[in-house]
Structure 1
Amino acid sequence: MPDTYNVVSTRTFAAPAGEVWRAWQDPEHIKRWWGPHGFTVPVADLDFRVGGTSLVGMRAPAEYGGQDMFNTWTYRRIEPTSLLEFDLAFTDASGTRVASPPGVPNDVRHVITFVPGTDGRTMLTVTEFGYADEQARDMSKAGLEQCLDKMTDLLES
């Protein structure tokens, strides 16, 4: 049995790598795809540079309580249109850390790769590292897949 569990999701978009990259570094784009279906993103304050920390807040729909949930993304590596690496932490609205959900590490390392195709399409792979159990990993993967569904709508509409 592994010590930790990782999430890996791959999606191919009918969009060039530059457009897929923009979805990760443009606050208005992030507001359109971050969070599961039905969630909105009222806050996307980005400091998109190595060592920078962005604050992203999502709001649950009323039927799920309507609460706001915040994350920071602290960037480790930025290689335009090819690789993005950051640590995600759960925070309050001011960016102060709060407890992570059960099974979720305090800093969820994310590695995102962008592979352009010859046909103008881009393959995106998101890897999240370090979940303590399969349930936490599976919940995160389900949320990520919904985010990528929304990103597909953004990039291919």
Structure 2
Amino acid sequence: MTNQTIVSTVENDRVLVLEREFDAPRELVFRMFKEAEHLKHWWGPRGWELPICTIDFRPGGVWHYCMKCVDKNQGDFFGMESWGKGVYGEIVEPEKIVYTDYFSDAEGNVNESLPSTEITLEFIDLGGRTKLINRAVYGSAEALQTVLDMGMLQGITETWNRLSERLDSLK
């Protein structure tokens, strides 16, 4: 089940909805998103690690992280760092996480030249399995196209494959 396909749809030219089922209880899947020690094992595409990850998991709290390419086979990406910052808006444990996702620098300053995203993660209990729905609202169709052109769909697919593997290792 590791390489299960993500179902993706675009609504109103600027909303990307991603869905996938995981073979793990909802509480465990939710915990993977709230604790840095879990995120460090699966966040990011294959060949990337999360050497820095701090989480203040509460409304108004900040998640700040660095993804670093450690795979020499990824050519020019090897050694590259990509910083991100999330600001939590709403948390309903274990059902929902709402946050604004930004590109940032190492100090947490938002990169205004790249699009931010309003993310809503829904964790739906399927009786021992969990459906994860990621609803990403972009400021414009152009902003959504920017992240799609950056390879975001491939990256999230690899990331969620890694999440599935992490869940399997904890069962």
1:34-73 alignment to 2 at 5 Å? 34-61=43-70, 62=72, 63=75, 64-73=77-86
Name the residue aligned to 2:134: 126
| Residues in 2 aligned to 1:145 and 1:77: alpha-carbon distance in whole angstroms | 25
Identity, in percent, stands at 26
Comparing both chains, which one has the higher relative contact order based on Cα–Cα distances under 8 Å and sequence gaps of 6 or more?
1
2:23 and 2:43 mapped to 1: Cα distance? 19
TM-score by length of 1: 0.87
Whichever residue aligns with residue 116 of structure 1, its letter is D
Cα RMSD after superposing both structures: 1.8
2:167 alignment partner in structure 1: 155
Question: Contact 1:7/1:141 (CA < 8 Å) preserved in 2?
Answer: no
> Which 4+ residue blocks in structure 1 deviate beyond 6 angstroms?
none
Partner of 1:97: 110
Shift of 1:3: 6.7
**Distance in 2 between residues matched to 1:100 and 1:148, nearest whole Å:** 27
**Is the contact made by 1:13 and 1:156 (CA closer than 8 Å) also made in structure 2?**
no
Q: Deviations over 1:114-152 (max 9, x none)?
A: 00112x111111121215254633622221111111100
SS of 2:106 mapped into structure 1: coil
The aligned amino acid for 1:14 is D
Give, in whole Å, the separation in 2 of the partners of 1:55 and 1:31. Answer: 12
Alignment partners' CA distance in 1, 2:69 and 2:39: 16
2:126 & 2:147 partners in 1: Cα distance? 33
Aligned counterparts of 1:24 and 1:128: Cα–Cα separation in 2: 16
- Structure 2 stretches of 5 or more lacking a match? 1-10
User: How big is each residue's C-alpha offset from its partner over 1:5-41, in whole Å with a ceiling of 9 and x where there is no partner?
Assistant: 3322211111111100010011011111111111000
Shift of the alpha carbon at 1:65? 3.0
Q: Measure, in 2, the Cα distance between the counterparts of 1:136 and 1:94.
A: 22
Q: Secondary structure at the match of 1:93?
A: coil
Corresponding position of 2:87? 74
Partner of 1:137: 148
1:31 matched to 2:43? The reply is: no
